[in-house]
Structure 1
Amino acid sequence: MPICSDGGLVHDHHVALAPAMGADFVMMGRYFARFDQAAGAKLPTRDGFVKEYWGEGSNRARNWQCYGQGGQGLLFEEGVDSYVPYAGDLDEGLALTVAKLRTTMVSCGSRTLPEFRSTARLTLVSDQSFQESHANVTLRDTPVTIS
């Protein structure tokens, strides 16, 4: 049975971590919501910009037919209504994400996604290591920094 990484993927390293943890595919609504081409306003913050994001199962999406429960309408809200870090143009951002995923796979000795899924090994690292070099993972005994 295929495994889906459903929800929460925002950054490049999430796209690499999902198959490394066994996902066959990823849902990337929150990832794509960061770009200019996505719906939602671009808003200034103290630290830069964010974009509005709302999940398909949120009250804001108002997709009652999809999430209705036996004709009763939406009984509870499943989706998120929040903000994601602004990431600019989709073409540039997606190209960079794909390049980082390919580089991570090559660094781990994998040529295909199925091979990467089956051979990747994740190792916990200290908080200090994480702070000094972003997200550190060890895949197939090879330390790789994904940022």
Structure 2
Amino acid sequence: MGADFVMMGRYFARFDQAAGAKLPTRDGFVKEYWGEGSNRARNWQRCGQGGQGLVFEGGVDGYVPYAGELNEGLALTVAKLGTTLVSCGSATLPEFRSTAPLTMVSDQGFQESHANVTLQDTPTAVS
């Protein structure tokens, strides 16, 4: 609630306009995703951070659920944020930060409030 900015690479990677292949799975489609700090990005080559002897990995690579066109997805996200603000009695983000009520939730309540999700293996190509 106090963030001045957020990193949203994973969010934007889901859309058609982002780099990465769209791959079919049993449950729909996913897109490949790799963060700038990941081994796959090899940012030492692109950012001049040393030679081939420099080895590090500080990011992730994997798959994100495919979400279609950016303009539609972003419009939906902005609408959800607006609805959340209104639900908390705020009209702006600064007002939300200063007036939103915080409610303690038990671990059991937290677990019960989430969908039952099963992690999937790497996508399997469909012929």
TM-score, length-normalised on structure 1?
0.66
Identical pairs, percent: 78
What is the aligned partner in structure 1 of residue 87 from structure 2? 107
Stretch moving more, 121-130 or 92-101: 121-130
How do 1:57-68 and structure 2 match up within 5 A? 57-64=37-44, 66=47, 68=49
CA distance in 2: counterparts of 1:54 and 1:128, whole angstroms? 31
- Residue type of the alignment partner of 2:90: S
Which structure exhibits the higher relative contact order, with contacts defined as CA atoms closer than 8 Å and separated by 6 or more residues?
Answer: 2
Gapped runs of 5+ residues in structure 1?
1-19, 133-147
Partner of 1:27: 7
Give distance in 1, aligned partners of 2:105 and 2:54: 40
Q: Once the 2 structures are TM-superposed, how far is the Cα of residue 119 of structure 1 from its aligned partner?
A: 2.5
- Deviation readout 1:14-45 (Å, 9 max, x if unpaired): xxxxxx3x211111100000001100000111
Answer yes or no: is the 8 Å Cα contact 1:57–1:67 preserved in 2: no
Map residues 129-140 of structure 1 onto 2, 5 A cutoff: 129-131=113-115
User: Deviation at 1:104?
Assistant: 0.4
Number of residue pairs matched by the alignment: 110
Q: Which structure carries more strand by proportion?
A: 1
Is 1:128 matched up with 2:112? Answer: yes
Which consecutive segments of 4 or more residues in structure 1 shift more than 6 A?
Answer: none
After TM superposition, the score normalised by the length of structure 2 is: 0.76
Could you tell me which runs of 5 or more consecutive residues in structure 2 were left unpaired when the two chains were aligned: 117-127
Asked which structure has the greater CA Rg, the reply is 2
The letter for the 2-side match of 1:88 is G
